Amino acid sequence: MGIDWFAFLTVAVVAVVASCFVVSVYSVGLRFWSAADTRAGKFTVKDDGTIGPATAGFPNPAGSTGAVRGLRSLAIACFVVCAATVLYGIYLIVPQFH
């Protein structure tokens, strides 16, 4: 019985890919979410890039349509992808499912 270096490599690669994928998709989701918040007027972004207070009419019904709704659903889609990846991972390791 030799030492199975390939198995170690597999573990490393799987860990890198899975973890980076989940983390980046989740971060992108968060970014979409806050973009939606900004579009809806929860924050204002000043010229120098710092964050200002909410616009006067927040929460305004006009802000929750179109672009905002689209961004929100993109964010939710990202979170769903994360959850699905995790569930797929669990599915892979449980021998009863195969």
Partner 1 sequence: MDITLIVVLVIALALFFDFTNGFHDTANAMATPIATGAMKPKVAVTVAAVLNLVGAFLSTAVATSISHGLINEGPGGVAISPEMIFAGLIGAVVWNMITWLRGLPSSSSHALFGGLIGAAIVGAGFQSVNYVALMTVVIIPAFLSPVIAAFVSFLSTRIAYRITRRPVFPNERGGFRVGQIFTSSMVSLAHGTNDAQKTMGVITLTLIASGAQSSNQGVQFWVVIACALAIALGTYTGGWRIIRTLGSGITEIRATQGFAAEASTAATILASSHLGFALSTTQVSSGSIIGAGLGRRGSKIQWSTAGKIVIAWFITLPASAAVGAVASGIARFGVVGLVLDAVIGGVVILGLYLWSLRKPHEQASAIEVDVAANAVYTRKELRDLQRKKRAENVAARRAELSRERTLRRMGARKGGRR
Cβ(68)–Cβ(39) below 8 Å:
yes
Least separation in angstroms between residue 66's CB and partner 1 is 19
Q: In the chain, which residue ranges form alpha helices assigned H by DSSP?
A: 5-40, 67-93
Q: Which of 47, 49, 61, 98 binds partner 1 (CB under 8 A)?
A: 49
- The answer to whether 65 contacts partner 1 (rule: CB under 8 A) is no
Question: How far, in whole angstroms, is CA 98 from its chain's centroid?
Answer: 29
Question: How far, in whole angstroms, is CA 39 from its chain's centroid?
Answer: 18
DSSP secondary structure of 53-69: PPPTTPSPGGGGSTHHH
Contact region for partner 1 (CB under 8 A) — 3-11, 56-64, 65-73? 3-11
Least separation in angstroms between residue 26's CB and partner 1 is 5
Q: Can you give the binding site for partner 1, defined by CB under 8 A?
A: 1-4, 7-8, 10-12, 14-16, 18-20, 22-24, 26-31, 33-35, 37-38, 43, 45, 49-51, 82-83, 86, 89-90, 92-95
